[in-house]
Structure 1
Amino acid sequence: MAETESQYRLPEGSCDCHFHIYGPFDRFPAGDEGRFTPSRAFTIEDAFAHWGRMGVSRGVIVHAVGSGEDNAVTYDALRRYPERLRATAILRPDVSDRRLDELTEAGFRAVRVTMIRQDGKPVSTLGTSYEDFRSLAPRIAERGWHAQLWIESSDLVAAAPELEKFPLTYVIDHMSRTMADKGHEHPDFRAFTELLKTGRYWTKISGADRNTRLGRPYADTAPYMRAIVAAAPGQVVWGSDWPHVGHSAETMPAMQDLLRLLHECVPDEATRRAILVDNPTRLYGF
């Protein structure tokens, strides 16, 4: 019998800490996000239906460039479902204090900062650039926000001394985007797990489908997930990365694979509940 999402149903109060929404396009037109541009609308109601099949009740919207840089679709969802949602924003340095206050009141809790590299060069088109973040940091710190960083472990280790000058907490996307052939004993990845132990840094055990070199069922990413949880289980949250934009039909993740990986890498029920329920409550203020 084929596996289904319901076989790995998550505990009551579980939170999907990394997902995206798009549309409806007649109200919130799609932007150009390159290969990450959505093929159709994926609304907040679609997300709720997706969650219902696996037991998730709360979530953190990571606002996407493909949803427009004004954060409007995410703001709208937060205003309509304040008990169930928090969010990460894309910001520009000229954002007004009034708008920052509006976003905070609605449930935005972080700025999405892109520090990932392609061909050795920073990519700043999928979020707030690091340069913009540096000017924004004092203003978001005043409002109790944190910074969500899309960054590789080697760059994180290099950037940490400057990052720690700001009075902020940092959430590292997708297990520090460490590709699965790098080796979980690599000094940069080990240094990343040591940063988690300080309490200034968190990470999302998400993005196995982005980090894998072998494809489904992503077994080559399991050592990284286990190492993260072993190092600092109190600094870890989980995310689905739904709706998995950028994948082809052949590489599109199946949620049962991602949920099975979570259960295999976090077999202890109490630890799994902390990652899914308790840690997101602390980090996002549910």
Structure 2
Amino acid sequence: MKIDPQTWHPDPKTPDYRPPVGAVDAHCHVFGPGDVFPYAPERKYTPVDAPKENLFALRKHLGFQRSVIVQASCHGKDNAALIDALKADPENTRGIAVVDLNISDEELAVMDAAGVRGVRFNFVKRLVDPGPKDGFLRMAERIRKLGWHVIVYFEAPDLEELIPFLKTLPVTVVIDHMGRPDVAAGVDGTSFRMFHELMEDPKFWVKVGCPERLSLSGPPYDDVVPFARSLIEAYPDRVLWGTDWPHPNMKSHVPDDGLLVDRIAFIAPTPELQQKLLVDNPMRLYWPEQQGA
């Protein structure tokens, strides 16, 4: 059955799995409300409004303390909704922006003060028209001075072409959604082996959530578990997890965020790995000032 691709789950289950104290949802979004924060004219999809109040209520329901809010393509380079959410809960939120390559240093400083800690480069052609790589490289040089990092979003078929560029970036690089591997090819497939080879470079981190976008079998996404688990076990100090709420542009089903939380125990099977995935790693990357406090 086809669904409205912009719907988000109105009543997610209470997770059976309880995250460790201080857990961070390291990949989520806010959308609108559109009458306050209009969507970008150049967007390739229009989401249902998903404002900060709903995000914060979900975070509490799922048992998480903090959120890293990522600017999505439907808002383009207007980060007003993101900044508004960061200012509403400055202690427990950080942000990833999408910026114009000509943005001023003064504007970047304002974002930094609001809690932005990186910029996102999107190479998924069905969502955006990717910018020039030389411009992205110059932006990475500029944000290095702020101690920010880069988030990159791409799909597995584009990995080989992107590797030389990714290796030139002079900052920490966090890869969204495990590079969207081809689940049908398995963890021993050529492209996922190539992804592991890239991850051997310690400047690369990876987000291991979002099974709902990758699964061929559907909930509870058992076919994606081996991919996430292999990355967590190989690179336990450079993995992050996030809900991807409100799951924009899903066309097959409405993900239940409570179910997604329950899958954490399958991909990170020990308390030590769960602590690193949900607390230690995101705190080190997004709240370094609190480390050792």
TM-score by structure 1 length? 0.89
SS in 2 for 1:124: coil
Once the two structures are TM-superposed, the CA of residue 54 in structure 1 deviates from its matched residue by 1.3
Aligned to 1:7: 16
The 10-residue stretch of structure 1 (145-154 or 264-273) with the greater mean CA deviation from structure 2: 145-154
Once the two structures are TM-superposed, the CA of residue 52 in structure 1 deviates from its matched residue by 1.1
- The alignment status of 1:106 with 2:126, answered yes or no, reads no
- The alignment status of 1:279 with 2:281, answered yes or no, reads yes
1:152 to 152, 155, 172: 155
Once the two structures are TM-superposed, the CA of residue 128 in structure 1 deviates from its matched residue by 5.8
Aligned to 2:266: 264
- Matches of 1:79 and 1:174 in 2, distance apart? 27
Offset from partner CA, 1:128-155 (integer Å, 9 cap, x none): 6645312312111121111101123453
1:76 to 75, 80, 84: 84
Instruction: Specify the code of the residue in structure 1 equivalent to 2:40.
Output: G
Once the two structures are TM-superposed, the CA of residue 105 in structure 1 deviates from its matched residue by 1.6
Aligned to 2:222: 219
SS in 2 for 1:223: helix
The 10-residue stretch of structure 1 (268-277 or 252-261) with the greater mean CA deviation from structure 2: 252-261
Aligned to 2:64: 56
Aligned to 2:192: 189
1:21 to 23, 27, 30: 30
- The alignment status of 1:34 with 2:44, answered yes or no, reads yes
CA contact (8 A) 1:109 1:146 kept: yes
CA contact (8 A) 1:19 1:243 kept: yes
Instruction: Specify the code of the residue in structure 2 equivalent to 1:81.
Output: D
Aligned to 1:94: 102
SS in 1 for 2:226: helix
Aligned to 1:207: 210
Moved over 4 A (4+): none
CA contact (8 A) 2:30 2:82 kept: yes
SS in 2 for 1:234: coil
For structure 2, the 5+ residue unaligned runs are 1-11, 289-293
- Matches of 1:188 and 1:243 in 2, distance apart? 28
- Matches of 2:221 and 2:90 in 1, distance apart? 34
Offset from partner CA, 1:208-243 (integer Å, 9 cap, x none): 111112221111111101111121011101010000
**Structure 1 segment 224-263 matched on structure 2, within 5 A:** 224-248=227-251, 251-263=253-265
Alignment root-mean-square deviation, CA: 2.0
- Matches of 2:59 and 2:88 in 1, distance apart? 17
CA contact (8 A) 1:113 1:130 kept: no
CA contact (8 A) 2:69 2:82 kept: yes
Aligned to 1:135: 138
The 10-residue stretch of structure 1 (63-72 or 223-232) with the greater mean CA deviation from structure 2: 63-72
CA contact (8 A) 2:245 2:257 kept: no
Once the two structures are TM-superposed, the CA of residue 172 in structure 1 deviates from its matched residue by 0.4
Q: Indicate how the Cα distance of structure 1 residues 124 and 131 shifts in structure 2: closer, same or farther if over 3 A, else same.
A: farther
Q: Indicate how the Cα distance of structure 1 residues 175 and 92 shifts in structure 2: closer, same or farther if over 3 A, else same.
A: same
TM-score by structure 2 length? 0.87
Once the two structures are TM-superposed, the CA of residue 205 in structure 1 deviates from its matched residue by 0.8
Once the two structures are TM-superposed, the CA of residue 182 in structure 1 deviates from its matched residue by 2.2
**Higher relative contact order (Cα pairs below 8 Å, separated by 6+ residues):** 2
Percent of aligned positions that are identical: 35
Aligned to 2:9: none
Instruction: Specify the code of the residue in structure 2 equivalent to 1:102.
Output: V
Offset from partner CA, 1:151-210 (integer Å, 9 cap, x none): 234533443333323321110000111131122112321232233233110000112111
Instruction: Specify the code of the residue in structure 2 equivalent to 1:108.
Output: V
- Matches of 1:67 and 1:93 in 2, distance apart? 16
Q: How many residues align?
A: 276
